[in-house]
Copies of this chain bind each other. A is one copy, B any other.
Amino acid sequence: MSATRSTAAGKVLDVLAVFDREHPSQTLSEIAQRTGMALSTTHRVVSELAGWGALERAEDGSWHVGLRLWEIASGCPRTQILRDVALPFMQDLYEATHENIQLAVREGTELVFVERIAGHRSVELLTMVGSRFPIGSTGMGRVLLAHAPPELQEEVLASPLRAWTPHTVTDPKTLRAQLDRIRREQVFVSDRQLSESTVAVAAPVRTGRNGPVGAALGIVFTARGASRARGLREPLLRAAYGISDELGRRARPTA
Cβ–Cβ < 8 Å partners of A11 in chain B: 9
Q: How far is the CA of A170 from the CA of B97 in the complex (A)?
A: 45
> Across the interface, do B73 and A13 meet the contact criterion of CB distance under 8 Å?
no
Per-position contact with B for A9-41: 1 when CB-CB < 8 Å, else 0? 111110011011100110000000000000000
Known: A67-B79, A72-B16, A132-B71. A87 touches B24 (CB 8 A): no
Tallying the copies of this chain within the complex gives 2
Q: 24 A-B Cβ contacts within 8 A? A: A8-B9, A9-B12, A9-B49, A10-B48, A12-B13, A13-B48, A19-B72, A21-B75, A64-B77, A65-B72, A66-B76, A66-B78, A67-B76, A67-B78, A67-B79, A67-B105, A70-B74, A70-B79, A71-B112, A80-B130, A83-B129, A87-B119, A88-B122, A95-B95
> Size of chain A's interface in residues, with CB distance under 8 A?
58
Per-position contact with B for A121-145: 1 when CB-CB < 8 Å, else 0? 0100000111010000000000000
**CB of A163 within 8 Å of the partner chain:** no
Which chain B residue lies CB-closest to A23? B75
Instruction: Give residues 50-73 of A contacting B (CB, 8 Å).
Output: 52, 54, 56, 64-67, 69-73
**CB of A92 within 8 Å of the partner chain:** yes
A52–chain B nearest beta-carbon distance, Å: 5
Per-position contact with B for A78-119: 1 when CB-CB < 8 Å, else 0? 111001100110011011000000000101000010000111
> Across the interface, do A65 and B69 meet the contact criterion of CB distance under 8 Å?
no
